[in-house]
Amino acid sequence: MTLAQQIAERVVAMRADNLPKAALDWSKVGVMDTLGCILAGLSEEGPMTVAEVIGVQLNGSESLVLGTASRTSPLDAALINGVAAHVLDYDNGGANMGGHASAVMVPALLAAAEAFDCSGEDVLVAHAAGFETGSQLGRAVHPMHYESGWHPTSTVGVFAVAAACSSLLKLTAEQTTTALAISTSLAAGTKANFGTMVKSLHVGQCARGGLMAALLARKGFTANPDAFGHKQGYFNLFNGPGKFHAEKVLETWGAPLDIVEPGAAYKLYPCCYSTHAAVEAALNLVREHGPFKADDIARIDSYTASQRLAHTDRPQPKTALEAKFSVQYCVARAVLDGHVVLQDFDPTAFNEPVMQSLLTRVHATPHLAGQFEPDQLMAAEVKITFKDGRSIASRVMRPLGRTVENPIPPALLKAKFEDCAASVLPVAQVAKLSQALDQFEAVSSVRDFMRLLEVPSTPKVQRKIA
């Protein structure tokens, strides 16, 4: 039996009545958090450009472009909503998958659930199944996969989407095998495009590709069930012979489910996760010693793992997207303002004269020898040296929300969602949506639920889509 077949059997076996309650609860958090990110990101240039290019229609199609009155095909809705889910880099991640987990699945699941009139419980089970699939395949290919330059959010995430959508649509084990095999030819995404619109396009394409794989398999499309282990298959091509561990995929499957432990990683700051420990260290300094005036600071030193610094060392970001991947900017903003929020990544924010001046005094370097253990890849230290010779420092071993052992309080996650949703939806509608999400497992028709995400009149967004 091939690996794809063994994964498929496990996915098909996952049902609401045999999953732990914690898996469904954490899936519900993932749905809520991702919906907020989509709504907040919808009007950004990236998702709107994609919507324009593919030509969204208003002619009674099956799936909603969230936060608008526009409906399109499930595949195109998954694409647009997927780009929106990740464009702000505010969405959750999965440590073992090595990328952003819910952002790739939720757009596809909601698009398909609306088109096929599935229940909220169906979506939650599917999300848990997809999360496990992506996490376990991630364990087989990391760290070499990530270090080689692949973007696992899409190159591994496509299997999470295919498995999730196969579960949602109640595909057989044979059909689910085919969906996973098809997805090996749809996996794509290079880290060279981090800091540009393409990074969020990876998520949209992944959501669309995984859903398309499930829909094709449902219709009898064919693929090689050995597409993972073949000599010219996924593992050998993406990692290289001898640079993967296929046996890890099934080694710990469901013991416990990855969404339960270690769980997804959630964000309080809308920027690359690799900057978060440094941001929290800077915020600790502000809380303990601040506020600070930029003119009093001689220099700021930020120490992070070299693997994280590889894509966040951007001393002079030129765009808002680059600013999200600039540990220098994120730390400077935290030091200067005592917060890092959505508005800090407006196109003009990083060009403020005081910020441009402070950025020249921020120095980002890898962890010093002996400063941290080699496996502490999320740890960071920030040191501020003042012109009067004083210096203060703070160290954070892992940012808040990185695992279920260090969770973000539910009230803060709820507040984050409502803040994001309010950027598009009226306050009263946000309240109704928030209440519906609290009981999402009881939603009998996602088609009805999606009406809470519809805005009949949104001139800014509608004009760009039309």
Q: What is the mean pLDDT of residues 128-137?
A: 98
Token pair 């496996």: residue: 375
d(CA 440, CA 147): 38
Give the tens place of pLDDT for each residue, 289-322.
Answer: 989 999 999 999 999 988 888 889 999 998 888 9
81 and 207 Cβ atoms separated by less than 8 Å: yes
Listed residue (153, 139, 310) closest to 239, CA to CA:
139
Mean pLDDT across the stretch 107-130? 97
**Burial tier of 389 (Cβ tally within 10 Å: 0-12, 13-18, 19+):** exposed
Measured distance CA(271)–CA(327) in Å, rounded: 9
For residue 439, give the amino acid letter: Q
What CATH topology corresponds to 273-396? 60s Ribosomal Protein L30; Chain: A; (3.30.1330)
Distance between CA atoms of residues 299 and 35, nearest Å: 39
Residues 232-241 have pLDDT tens digits of 999 999 999 9
pTM listed for this prediction: 0.87
Across 44-85, where does the E strand assignment appear? Answer: 63-64, 71-72
> pLDDT tens digits, residue range 145-170?
999 999 999 999 999 999 999 999 99
DSSP string, 125-141: HHHHHHHHHHHHHHHHH
Q: How far apart are CA 105 and CA 103, in angstroms?
A: 6
Give the start-to-end residue ranges of the domains of the chain.
Answer: 3-267+404-465, 273-396
Q: Take residue 217 and report the two structure tokens written for it.
A: 């398999």
Averaged pLDDT of the chain: 92
Q: How far apart are CA 66 and CA 444, in angstroms?
A: 20
User: Cis omega before residue 107 (within 30°)?
Assistant: no
Question: Are β-strands 297-304 and 362-366 bridged in parallel, bridged antiparallel, or unpaired?
Answer: parallel
Residues 191-194: contacts with CB within 8 Å, 24+ apart? 191/146, 191/149, 191/150, 191/151, 191/311, 192/149, 193/151, 194/151, 194/272, 194/311, 194/325
Predicted local distance difference test score (pLDDT) of residue 463: 36
Fold of 3-267+404-465: 2-methylcitrate dehydratase PrpD (1.10.4100)
The dihedrals phi and psi of 261, each to the nearest 5 degrees, come to -150, 120
